[in-house]
A and B are shown apart, each in its own frame.
Chain A
Amino acid sequence: MTQQLSSKPFYGQRIEVRSVPDPIVKDCFAVFACRHKFCREVCPVYQDDRDESHTSYGFHSTLLAISQGIGSLEDVRDQVTNCLECGACELRCPNTLFAGDFYGASTTTVDLVRKVRRDLVAADIGFEKYEAIIEVIDKYLSYFTGPEEDLTRWAEGLNLPFTGETILFVDYFNAFETTVVARNAAKILSAAGVSYGILRHPGATLGELLDVDLDAFVEHARYNVNELVTAGAKRVILINPHDYTYFTRDYTAYLGELPFEVVYVTDVIDELITSGAITFEGASPLSGNVSYHDPCTLNKICGITESPRRIIRSLPGLNFVDVSPVAQWSYCCGKGSSSFKVLHPDTSYRIGARRLQAAADVGAERLVLACPHCEDQLTDVRARSGAPVEPIHVLALVAQAMGLE
C-alpha cells in the first residue's frame, strides 16, 4: 500500500479502532490545546450547521479523545464527511500562523481528513455514502478504460497536436462536463499564438481517489507524468485548480520533483495580457458589476489570488467589486475539494446559495469563477435558488472580450 505523505510523514501511521499513534496524538493535541478555536467561524460547514463537532477543533479533539479511551474510530465517520477539504481552518489556525514555518507544525486538517477516510476504509468501517463515492470513481475511471477518442472529443475541430513543449492538461471533469472551459482555454491560447498540445489519453486526477484509494491515485499520477514527458512537456498548463493542488502538492510528495513546470491557466493568461499577446481591442466591450470568487483550492491551498483579479481588471467595460482573498477564506462554493456535494447535497446547496448571496450583497450582477467545479456548482445553485447573480467562468469573459465566440 502506498504510504501517505504530507508535510507530516507520520500521517502514514494507521489509526486503529481504539488507538492513535503517538505523533498523531501530539498533532491533535496542538489543535486541542490551541483554545483559540479560530477555525470555527471561518469554516463554511460550521457556518451552515453551527455544530462545533464539524470543525477542525472538533475533529482533532475527537481523535485525541479516542487516544484517551473515549470513543472509537467509528466516531469520526460523521466528521470526515462534513469537511469540504477547503483548507480555511488551516490558514486561520494560530498554529499555522506562528508555528508553521518555524517548527513545521502547521495544522493540516485536509491531509488528516483524507488520511482518516482511508483509515476508515482500511478498518472496514467506511462512512456514510461511501458507495456513492465509489460510483463517482467508477464513472470517471471508466473514461480511462473507455474509447480513447472520447477523451479528446471536447477538442473537436480545434486541430490540436498530441505533442508539444507546452501541454494543456485537460482533466476528465473539463473533458466531459464543463467542456466549454476546456474549449475556451484552447481557443484563447491559440489566438494568443501559444504553441501547445494536449494529451491523447490523460489519466484520472480524482480527489475521490485520494480520499479512499491512494494506490490508484498514485498509479494515475505516475501515468500522467509519464504521458506528459512522452508528449515532450516542459510546461504543463492546468485548467482545473483541484488538479493544480494534486500536481504541486501530492504528485511531488509521492513522485518527487516533476520533470516539467506546472502553471495555472490564469497565470498564463495574465502574462499573455501583460506581454500584449492578448488584446481586447475591437471586440464588443463587456459591461456590468462583477465580483470574483476565489476557488478554495487556488486561494486557501495554493495561494493563487492575483492573476484572476488582474485579468478581470484588464477586461474592458466591467466594474469590478472585489472582495479580498482573506475575507474569502470563509467562503466556499459548497462543492468541496472532492466528494462533499455527493455526501451532503443539502448543505452543499446552502453553502453555494450563501456564496451567491454574498456576491449579490456587494452589488455584483455576475460572479466570475476560475474553477470548473465552482462553475458547475454555482450554476446549479443559481438554477435552484433563482439568485440574481450569474456565475461565469473567467475564460468565458476573456474569450468574449477577445471576440472569440
Chain B
Amino acid sequence: MTTTAVHAGLEGAIADLRQSIGSEFVLTEPYHRAIRSSSAAPFGVHLWQDTLPDLVVRPGSTADVIEIVRIANRWKVPIVPRGAGAGLADGAMPLRRGIVVDIKRMHDVLEIDDDNMTVTVQPGINMMELNKILRPLNVWFPDDPASYPVNVLGGRVGTGGWSLVGAGYGHIPNNVVSMEVVTPTGEVIRVGEGGARKIRKASTGYRMKELFIGHQGTLGIVTELTLDLSPRPEVEFPAFFAVRDWRDSWRLTQTLGKSGLKTISGIFQFDERKVDFLRRDDEAWIPLPDWVQGATGVICYGREAEVNAAKPIIFDLAKEAGATYLGQEMSEGDWASRHDRYHLAYHGRSGGKIKLMAWSIDDCAVQWSELPAVKKRWYEIADALVAKHPEHFDVWGMFMYTNNPFRPWGDHLTELDMGINELEMTPEIWADWIEAKTEIARTAVRHGGSVSACHGGTREGEVNVSCYEELAEGQFELMKKLKRLLDPENIMNPGKYNLDEAYEGDAR
C-alpha cells in the first residue's frame, strides 16, 4: 500500500547531488518525474500523485552511483533504481517517492572477450543493441524476453527475468557470470560464482550472486555485468501446431519437452481463449478455423544439421498427438512477432466495443501437472471480475511457456492476460481488482507454484501472497534480516516486498 512520503532531507540531498553529479543530471521538473512514476504494470492513473518521485538522477558512472547512494544515506531520502521501466511488478515504481536513479546513461560495452565467451557491460545497455554490436563476431547474448527491444540489463537482473528461449539457453540468472554492485551503504562489491569475474562455476564462498539477482532494487545497484555469450544459432526453426482441445496442446507440450531433443529452446501453449482473442484482435494473426481451440509452438535453435534432424521427430510427435501443423508462414510469422504483440490499448473490449485498456499479466510458475486446475480457477476469478465490472476489465486468454532453464520440461510460466481500463478507474474497482489478483496468485501457490516466474512478486495484490504464503517457511524472515543488515537506513527501494517490516519498531 502506498503512502505519500515527505522527506525532510530533500533540499539538502538535491543540493549535494547537483554538486557531485552535475545539475544537468539532477532533474526536478514535473515531467521528468511523472514519466518515471510507473513501470509497465497496470497503473492506477488516479493514484499517479502517490508515486511521483521527488527527483530523478541520471548517473554516468559507478562513481556517480556511489555518490548518489552516500548522499541518499546522509539525507535519508530513498532511492529507486530504474532501468527501462518496463518491469511488470512495479519494481521501479517509487512507493516512498524520493530519488529515481535512472541508469540508462550507463550503457557502454566495456570488454568483449570472445576467446572466453564473455562480454562486460554497464547496466543501461539494451540486449538488442548489445547483440547488434556482437553480431560481427558471430556470438550473441541469448536473453530474449518479449520485451527484448526495450529492457536494459540492470532491470533484467533487478527482476531476475525469464527468456523465451530459456529452455535452450537459460534465463538471465543463468547467463550473468559476475556483477559489480553498489550496496545500499555505498560500498562497491563484486559478486560471482566465487570471486572471479569470468568463472561460471566455482566452489569458493557463499553463492552471493544469487542474492543480487531478482531483488527489485532493494539490495543495491548493479553497475557492471559480465555476461555469458553463446555462439549465434545458425538457424531458427519455429513450428506451430493446432489442436481441437487445449488439453491436447498441454499433452503435446509434455511429449515434446521430454523428447530429448537438445535443439528445442522453448515450447509455448496458447489456450482456447487466447486463440479467440488473437482471432478477434491481433491483426498479424492469420485467422484459424473455429475448430482450433489451442496451439503448441516449439522453437529450435542451433546448427542446421541438428535442427534438420529434429524436425521429422517433432512432426511425428505432433501427428501422434493429433495436432495439425499450421504451416511455415504462420509459424515463422508468429515467432517473428513475439516481441510486438503483447499489449495494445485498442485490444480492450466491453460489450464488443473498443474500450482503451492497458495490459495486465500474471506470470506465475506452475508445474505441468497442475496447469489444468490452475487455468480453470483463474478463469473463474477473472470472469467474475469482468462480470462485475464489464466496462473496466476484459479477459485476453492464457499463454504457457517452458520455464525450466536449459530443459523444456517441468514447470511453466503461466500467463493470464487481461485488459484493464485505467483511465476510468475508481478506488472501489481498483480494490476489487487487487482482490482478484490476490486470488490468482494464491491459486498458483496452493497448487505448488510460484507467484512469479519472471517479473517479481512485489506488486500490490500479490505481494502478501509472496511474503506470507509462498516464502512462509522462514525465507521471508531471512530476507528481512538480510535487508536490514545490508541496508540499515532502508534507503534502497523501500516498500517493496513488505521489507519495511524489517524496520518496524525503529525510532525513525
Contact = CB atoms under 8 A, between A and B. Distances in A.
B55 interface: no
Point out which of A50, A68, A76, A102 has the most chain B C-beta atoms below 10 A from its C-beta.
A50
B465 interface: no
Contacts of A97: 284, 340
A212 to B, nearest CB: 21
A34 B86 contact: no
B343 A35 contact: yes
Contacts of A51: 58, 104-105
A25 B45 CA distance: 12
A58 B29 CA distance: 13
B34 A98 contact: no
Given A25-B423, A26-B356, A50-B107, A98 B30 contact: no
B190 to A, nearest CB: 25
A291 to B, nearest CB: 16
Interface in B318-353: 339-346
Contacts of A58: 31, 35
Contacts of A126: none
A113 to B, nearest CB: 14
Nearest to B150: A37
Nearest to A51: B58
Contacts of A29: 45, 345, 356, 422-423
Given A50-B105, A101-B283, A33 B36 contact: no
Taking each of A34, A41, A69, which has the highest tally of chain B beta carbons within 10 Å of its own beta carbon? A41
A76 B30 CA distance: 10
A103 B343 contact: no
Contacts of A75: 29-31
Nearest to A39: B150
B22 interface: no
B14 interface: no
Given A41-B128, A50-B58, A35 B36 contact: no
Contacts of B26: none
Question: Interface residues of B: mostly helix, strand, loop or mixed?
Answer: loop
A95 interface: yes
Given A58-B35, A95-B346, A52 B30 contact: no
A33 B86 CA distance: 11
In this complex, the member of A33, A51, A58, A62 whose beta carbon has the largest number of chain B beta carbons within 10 angstroms is A33
Given A75-B29, A79-B31, A35 B102 contact: no
Of listed A53, A57, A97, A102, residue having the most chain B CB within 10 A? A53
Contact of B35 (A30, A61, A69): A61
B341 A94 contact: yes
Interface in B148-169: 149-150
Contact of B31 (A26, A35, A50, A53): A53
Contact of A71 (B31, B102, B340, B358): B31
A70 interface: yes
Interface residues on A, range: 35 or more
A40 B340 contact: no
B79 interface: no
B150 A36 contact: yes
Given A29-B345, A75-B29, A103-B346, A98 B35 contact: no
Contacts of A94: 340-344
A64 B126 CA distance: 26
A33 B31 contact: no
Given A50-B58, A94-B341, A37 B84 contact: yes
Contacts of B86: 35-37
A105 interface: yes
Given A53-B35, A61-B35, A102-B283, A38 B359 contact: no
B58 A70 contact: no
Contacts of B84: 37, 40
Contacts of B345: 29-30, 33-34, 95
A51 to B, nearest CB: 7
A95 B283 CA distance: 11
A268 interface: no
Interface size class on chain B is 35 or more
Nearest to B148: A38
Interface string B488-507: 00000000000000000000
B49 interface: yes
Interface string B10-48: 000000000000000001011110111001100001101
Contacts of B340: 36, 38, 94, 97-98
A98 B358 CA distance: 15
Contacts of A57: 35
Contacts of A61: 34-35
Contact of B346 (A30, A52, A68): A30
Contacts of A30: 344-346, 356
Nearest to A30: B345
A155 interface: no
A76 B29 CA distance: 10
A111 B84 CA distance: 26
A33 B58 contact: no
A98 B149 contact: no
A103 B354 contact: yes
B58 A98 contact: no
Contacts of A34: 343-345
Contacts of B282: 98
B343 A70 contact: no
A99 interface: yes
B102 to A, nearest CB: 7
A294 B29 CA distance: 36
B312 to A, nearest CB: 34
Contact of B341 (A70, A98, A102): A98
Contacts of A78: 29, 31
Contact of B344 (A37, A64, A65, A95): A95
Contacts of B85: 37, 52
B137 to A, nearest CB: 13
A71 B357 contact: no
A62 B346 contact: no
Contacts of A40: 84, 150
A57 B102 CA distance: 16
A33 B356 contact: yes
Contact of B283 (A52, A70, A98): A98
A79 B423 CA distance: 24
A321 to B, nearest CB: 13
B104 A99 contact: no
B60 to A, nearest CB: 9
Given A57-B35, A62-B31, A103-B354, A35 B346 contact: no
Interface in A165-179: none
Interface in A91-126: 94-95, 97-99, 101-103, 105
B357 A33 contact: yes
Interface string B124-156: 101011000000000000000001011000000
B31 A65 contact: yes
Contacts of B49: 69-70
B97 to A, nearest CB: 13
B222 interface: no
Interface in A1-52: 25-26, 29-30, 33-38, 40-41, 50-52
Contact of A50 (B30, B48, B124, B284): B124
Nearest to B49: A70
5 nearest A-B pairs in the assembled complex, by CB-CB distance:
A35-B40, A71-B30, A65-B34, A75-B31, A33-B358
Given A41-B126, A75-B29, 4 more contacts: A30-B344, A36-B147, A52-B36, A71-B29
5 contacts: A37-B84, A51-B104, A53-B27, A71-B31, A79-B31
